[in-house]
Structure 1
Amino acid sequence: MSEKAAVTPETVDPQDLAVLQEQLGRVPRGVVGIAARCVCGRPLVARTAPRLPDGTPFPTTFYLSHPGAVAAASRLEANGVMKEMNVRLGEDGDLAAGYRAAHEHYIARREELGHVEEIDGISAGGMPTRVKCLHALMAHALAAGPGVNPLGDEALALARDDWRPDRCTC
């Protein structure tokens, strides 16, 4: 697949929106694509416009929607994984550089959907200097694929006992 094809948002069909509503427990807002899917085809990660229909700036381009993935990310957060990652981020220059590159990738993918001045330079999950939301980092890792977000990849690996993207739990 060419790079151009890899970054083009896919069309969202009414069934995707119905599944997202079921997963989120509310009507999804600003969805422009499904950035990652379960092996069964249902959404794992919604791709969201940088400005919601009501005009609100929305920096979270990749939104984790699958209940199993959301629960796994919450368990990791509750177990102090973010604190450990933040310590390592401050000590490991290579990790910090990879995380900064993930931040830049995130912003570039959002900019494809339009520029919103109010969120210019802001990505998600605490990037590029801290870890504040594993849900966002896991969503980015699932959407971008392995090797783009080192801490998102790590969180997915740590979650494998609870949830994994290669096994349907829908």
Structure 2
Amino acid sequence: MAPQDTIRRHTISVLVDNEPGVLARVIGLFSGRGYNIESLTVAEVNEKDSLSRITVVTSGTPMIIEQIKAQLDRLVPVHKVKDLTLAGPFIEREMALVKVSGSGEKRVEALRIADIFKARVVDATITSFVFEITGTAEELNRFVELMDQLGLVDISRTGAVAMSRGAAGL
């Protein structure tokens, strides 16, 4: 496979007007062209100017990623598009709630593993725990794999949030 054909995971940050329909337009851009969204988060980041940040994780060849960025940039409510993967060092985190059910030694082991991963117990009953864990997608995946062996019941994940490192903004 030539470098221009290599499919790579990209984290793209998009600053948009916080108004109805903007998220639907961004998602429509992806679905209308058959691009997959691996993770999507959105939240208001500037109440005064009514701006939201959409963080999209997608995969594609360099040509497809450039097309995605160019098409996002042309949408009217979009103020700025930044491919964090290409822009330099960036921080990316996810949060998950992980419910584990068990008793006896499995319960003790779940608590021990949670401590290693710095997961916090946010709910506990006699037969279950709900852990809150924050980290990279890979860290969360490893935690979930281990909990799966101990009585995993349910998972809820936020998707990636990200920003570039250093003093510069989006």
TM-score interval, normalised by the smaller of the two chains: under 0.3
Greater RCO structure (CA 8 Å; 6+ sep) = 2
TM-score by length of 1: 0.25
Structure with bigger strand share is 2
Choose 1 or 2 for highest CA Rg. Answer: 2
